[in-house]
A and B are shown apart, each in its own frame.
Chain A
């Protein structure tokens, strides 16, 4: 897909996310909006080597949504790619829908249960290590939240992964600078976070997380890396991106727009 098409796809996905959240009365919309371009690059941009008609294809690239509360975005994208019918999405967070706020392995295209922050990088390092042991060429990508990087377990996994030279492991940090209740106190520089990963022995870089032009060239190289280090991509993003009044405002972590808010939101997504 060319960049123009991907941008249209991003609008469509944001609209679907909002529809799903409204229908369910539940959903982490702002956290989902900040990683839409990242996920579209991975799936529609052809980065992840996966087969929608064969979700457990054993040579597939593995993906872990460690910031599991953004599953609402992942569901919209998986459905759009053909992992399951679009008609399933309206059952998000409802009885018999099997699509929870946090992802489960029973959903086609989901490899790992998540929802408790901090686990995904360790589990991902296990997938990557198994690939090395089995001499398989698939890549493991783990999408982390920036608030999630406050969890100690992340750094246990980071140290281990570089020590073990898991260069088939890629972490993408959705650096939207907000956690559930407030802006991150570490300062607003993605460069500081990048230095932390480098200190742990990772190759790390900062990229504009909403620009396909910037994301794709980096992501398209992950299968051909020369370094023996794992890779951490700090994607600089805006929480709530796509709806102006939701952007960078902590109250939108777990809030559904109503009334006029809703009208404005849909207008902005046209």
Chain B
């Protein structure tokens, strides 16, 4: 197991720490959610780290006051407690005032697979993409998470970044492979079908496409790591000519990435492809255990995705 096993959260905060040492304006707030990767902040940059306590709504208002005073504020908690519990505060205090507060949520999808539905990050994209002025990033590996930490500091205004604790082998070897402006990467070319996906699902999509290639099905994978704003023109160019597009998200279909892409595709393409939306259907997940078992409930585990796509492409 390489250092990638520490996961993208470590990569993100290690990079942030490096920037915070040189920029005293960077402040990290947490709502009593700890992480080993925050220890450096606590010990070495105590004036730039504040545990606000279990008070997420207040943490958002507080971050706005700090940002109004010239600070670049990063706020951290588990996704439902940031995107949902204090959604109105995010809307009014951060987005409406257009402030440089970066909302960093951990636990995308079923990352917290033993903690039950209160801790699942499965409706956040639907909520956050409705907010004006908000840039949304969803990294898929450590290097990308690190680059997103850097760009979040350089870019003005509100940002929402969804992270995962689960680590897996790197998808990007060098920064050159990452085009932050474009907001997506073509990780694998495919002429029959392209899977557009994000976050932890990207690794799964690559495994599925490997398997499908053994059945002579040519499947591409696009890592859409910038969920808002989407570079629509470039994305359409990337999928032009591919007759089948599957959108895969560990997130509810309702209001998710797939519905957004469907809107883009059908409103802008003269010859739209066949489209399959794969995600969480309209029910809370009551499973506990490994992440794959939770995904299986919605046919989002590796072998189910393989079956579903195989059947779909043969229709």
Contacts and interface: CB of A to CB of B under 8 A. Distances in A.
A166 to B, nearest CB: 11
B68 A125 contact: no
A163 B57 CA distance: 17
Interface stretch (A77-85, A105-113, A186-194, A246-254): A105-113
A130 B71 CA distance: 8
Given A119-B93, A133-B47, A134-B69, A126 B57 contact: no
A130 B57 contact: no
B63 A126 contact: yes
Contacts of A116: 88, 92
Nearest to A113: B97
Interface string A136-173: 00000000000000001100110110010000000000
A156 B29 CA distance: 15
A127 interface: yes
Contact of A112 (B47, B88, B89, B97): B97
Nearest to B71: A130
A124 interface: yes
B68 A153 contact: no
A119 B53 CA distance: 17
Say whether chain B's binding surface is mostly helix, strand, loop, or mixed. Answer: helix
Interface in B35-90: 47, 52-53, 55, 57-58, 60-71, 88-89
Interface residues of B, number: 24
Contacts, number: 88
5 tightest Cβ-Cβ pairs between the two chains A and B: A126-B65, A122-B61, A130-B69, A156-B58, A156-B55
B96 interface: yes
Contacts of B52: 160
Contacts of A122: 57-58, 60-62, 64-65, 89, 93
Contacts of A24: none
A132 B194 CA distance: 53
20 contacts: A112-B68, A113-B92, A113-B93, A113-B96, A113-B97, A115-B92, A116-B88, A118-B57, A119-B93, A122-B61, A126-B64, A126-B65, A126-B66, A126-B68, A129-B66, A130-B65, A133-B47, A153-B61, A157-B61, A160-B53
Contacts of B96: 113
A160 B31 CA distance: 12
A126 B47 contact: no
Interface of A: 105, 111-113, 115-116, 118-131, 133-134, 152-153, 156-157, 159-160, 163
B62 A125 contact: yes
Contacts of B93: 113, 119, 122-123
- Which of the listed residues A120, A122, A130, A156 has the most CB atoms from chain B within 10 Å of its own CB? A122
A127 B69 contact: yes
Contacts of A159: 53, 55
Contacts of A128: 65
A131 B88 CA distance: 26
B267 to A, nearest CB: 32
B309 to A, nearest CB: 45
Contacts of A129: 62, 65-66
A123 B68 contact: yes
Contacts of B62: 122-123, 125-126, 129, 157, 160
Given A112-B97, A123-B64, A160 B69 contact: no
B58 A160 contact: yes
A90 to B, nearest CB: 26
Contacts of A126: 61-69
Nearest to B97: A113
A121 B67 CA distance: 15
A181 B137 CA distance: 43
Nearest to A125: B62
B61 A105 contact: no
A113 B88 CA distance: 14
Contact of B89 (A115, A119, A163): A119
- Which of the listed residues A112, A115, A163 has the most CB atoms from chain B within 10 Å of its own CB? A112
A130 B61 contact: no
A115 B96 CA distance: 12
B94 to A, nearest CB: 10
Contacts of A121: 61
B59 to A, nearest CB: 8
